[in-house]
Amino acid sequence: MTDLQFENVSITYRSSSDRGDVVAVEDVSLDLPAGATLGIAGESGSGKSTLIMSALRLLPKSARLEGRVLLGGQDIRELSFGQIRAVRWAQASIVFQGALHSLNPVREVGSQIIEALEHHSKGTWTTPQKRRDRMFELLAEVNLETSKSSAYPHELSGGQKQRIMIAMALACEPDIIIADEPTTALDVIVQKQILSGLARLVAERGISLLMISHDLAVLSAVCANLAIMRHGRLVEYGPSDEVCLSPQEDYTKQLAGAFPQIGDPESRLNPRTLKPAEVVRAEPFTMTDEVVLEAKNLSVSFDTRRGRERAVRGVDLQLRKAEILAVVGQSGSGKTTLARSLLGLQEVEAGSQLSFAGKALPKQAKALRAFRRKVQMILQDPAGSLNPKRSVYEAVVEGLKVQGIRDQEYERVIGALEAAELTPAEDYLESIPQELSGGQRQRVVIAGALALDPQVLIADEPVASLDASVRGEILSLFLALKKNLGMSALIITHDLGLAWNIADTVAVMKRGEIVEYGEVDRVLSDPQHEYTQELLAAVPRLGSQSLVRNE
């Protein structure tokens, strides 16, 4: 069994850019005894990935390491290249971040698992037949059918790919598994499966687990100890229940609060953030009975190689003025297709009725353009939604130009940016997306939509790719937009906590159908449909290593 110790580790990236040397990790000491589980939480840029990469000496050449990283009592800096190769995978292995892109798209996944075995045959899996058997063994261990070994990565779902990655990490029976955001981009149900799989392996095999995530609840569900990192420094460290349930540091409290506990009245319609958006109206708008956007019997099908697949089946949905409606479901449940068809971006089946303000959705290009002035959509990834070559001003003004709104261009842009809480707006006009943080980019995208003065905003996973603290800010912005401008919003998410935070009503989608639909308070505190119950149960709760002990 192998211990992993970080002793006063500092890591600096040399950089020739204006920023000079970047200190990624500063004086961090952590201890992972054999068989233990440790979670490191922190936001992007906190240095958590850099820290764990140092454990296997996987840092780029520009990184300088100070302090000691001990693997099984041996300083990894003193190992020769051959020795470090032997250590990688045989003693410690990594499940990389963005595992969904870490698989070779042109090779069968089974042979990719075998690849790890070929490099580290360790005298055990010496013949191709033995390696094949071991590969099937590994697939069984991560609950995948043996037939999946001949599948190509694109034929697998996100959760299945993640399991292949875990099988690869397990291949050579390592003592330590390092998992870098293993469940980001997966929905709650798959997340639960992956986490409980990991927890089971840890318990049965005595493997030590070092896991990184930005989500405290995910970590606390599996790990016994938690470390919180910020700006490269260790903020708090201790048993996970203590850190989560009675945090000492403000920063930990903020992280813990960012993901709301469903059922907790304090976070209902109140996303926790240090920078809440201002409500300027004396009498904020509240949900009315006036229906703005309505879908009746909406069905959408796609032609696939396996024939026609129905992504959305007979959905009835109503969005009222100043209502925030959350559509919740797993990935692949047809949420995004539903949103696209509400905007007229997707062809719908005959018999579907879509109407806006009582009138059927137009078909001609010109009328659609006018319609889109009133109904706007915000896409999933703020980084991709902005043309990298165009400044903030150009991005926001684009909608005005397209819609042929010529007067008061400058004022409208400034007004929209300020409504999206990007202040002072003048300072941002010339920035290009690359110079902005994720949260700022999302605000620019929102401002671009607001510039058209829409009545309805459709947002597809608006906070999924953002850090915990930014998440609160953006959610409070949605609430403020509703209260200040009387805007209706349809928010698509896989995160039930988001619905609890800001939505008035929630629709739960499964396989293209809405299985439960109603007010948030009622649906989330007293779910009727078993799928809603299943979704709710899968949401990791803070503290108590819930997934490990449930098993």
CB of 292 to another protein, least distance (A): 12
* Segment near another protein (CB under 8 A); pick from 13-21, 106-114, 202-210, 414-422: 414-422
- 464 lines the binding site for another protein (CB under 8 A): no
Cβ 170 vs Cβ 162: under 8 Å: no
CB atoms within 10 A of CB 364: 8
Q: Which is nearer to another protein, 57 or 374 (CB)?
A: 374
Residues whose CB is less than 8 angstroms from the CB of residue 453 and which lie 6 or more positions away in sequence, other chains included:
373
Please identify which residue in 19, 308, 363, 389 interacts with another protein, judged by CB under 8 A.
Answer: 389
- 451 lines the binding site for another protein (CB under 8 A): yes
Q: Which is nearer to another protein, 329 or 448 (CB)?
A: 448
CA distance 202 to 221: 13
- 507 lines the binding site for another protein (CB under 8 A): no
Q: Which is nearer to another protein, 281 or 522 (CB)?
A: 281
User: Peptide bond before 239: cis, by omega within 30 degrees of 0?
Assistant: no
User: In this structure, what is the dihedral angle of CA atoms 384, 386, 391, 395, given to the nearest 10 degrees?
Assistant: -170
Cβ 24 vs Cβ 11: under 8 Å: yes
CB of 336 to another protein, least distance (A): 11
- 397 lines the binding site for another protein (CB under 8 A): yes
Q: Which is nearer to another protein, 216 or 444 (CB)?
A: 444
Please identify which residue in 27, 141, 418, 521 interacts with another protein, judged by CB under 8 A.
Answer: 418
Site for another protein in 205-234 (CB under 8 A): none
Strand partners, 510: 513
Q: Which is nearer to another protein, 55 or 419 (CB)?
A: 419
Count of residues that bind another protein according to CB under 8 A: 58
- 368 lines the binding site for another protein (CB under 8 A): yes
- 284 lines the binding site for another protein (CB under 8 A): no
Cβ 194 vs Cβ 163: under 8 Å: yes
Strand partners, 489: 324, 457
H and E: helices and strands count for the chain = 20, 20
Please identify which residue in 119, 200, 205, 373 interacts with another protein, judged by CB under 8 A.
Answer: 373
Please identify which residue in 426, 427, 526, 530 interacts with another protein, judged by CB under 8 A.
Answer: 426
- 456 lines the binding site for another protein (CB under 8 A): no
Q: Which is nearer to another protein, 44 or 403 (CB)?
A: 403
- What are the φ and ψ backbone dihedral angles of 352, each rounded to 5 degrees? -80, 140
Structure-token pair, residue 287: 């949900």
* Segment near another protein (CB under 8 A); pick from 267-275, 327-335, 418-426, 435-443: 418-426
Cβ 322 vs Cβ 501: under 8 Å: no
Cβ 43 vs Cβ 27: under 8 Å: no
* Segment near another protein (CB under 8 A); pick from 51-59, 183-191, 286-294, 391-399: 391-399
- 369 lines the binding site for another protein (CB under 8 A): yes
CB of 14 to another protein, least distance (A): 17
CA distance 504 to 464: 20
- 31 lines the binding site for another protein (CB under 8 A): no
Structure-token pair, residue 491: 């928010």
- 350 lines the binding site for another protein (CB under 8 A): no
- 443 lines the binding site for another protein (CB under 8 A): no
CA distance 531 to 523: 12
DSSP string, 274-300: SSPPP---SS-----S-EEEEEEEEEE
DSSP string, 134-198: HHHHHHHHTT--GGGGG--GGGS-HHHHHHHHHHHHHTT--SEEEEESTTTTS-HHHHHHHHHHH
- 474 lines the binding site for another protein (CB under 8 A): no
* Segment near another protein (CB under 8 A); pick from 78-86, 209-217, 242-250, 422-430: 422-430
Structure-token pair, residue 308: 């026609």
Residues in contact with another protein by CB under 8 A are 280-281, 343, 345, 365, 368-370, 372-373, 376-377, 379-381, 384-387, 389, 391, 393-394, 397-399, 401-403, 406-416, 418-419, 424-426, 429-430, 445, 448-453, 455, 484-486
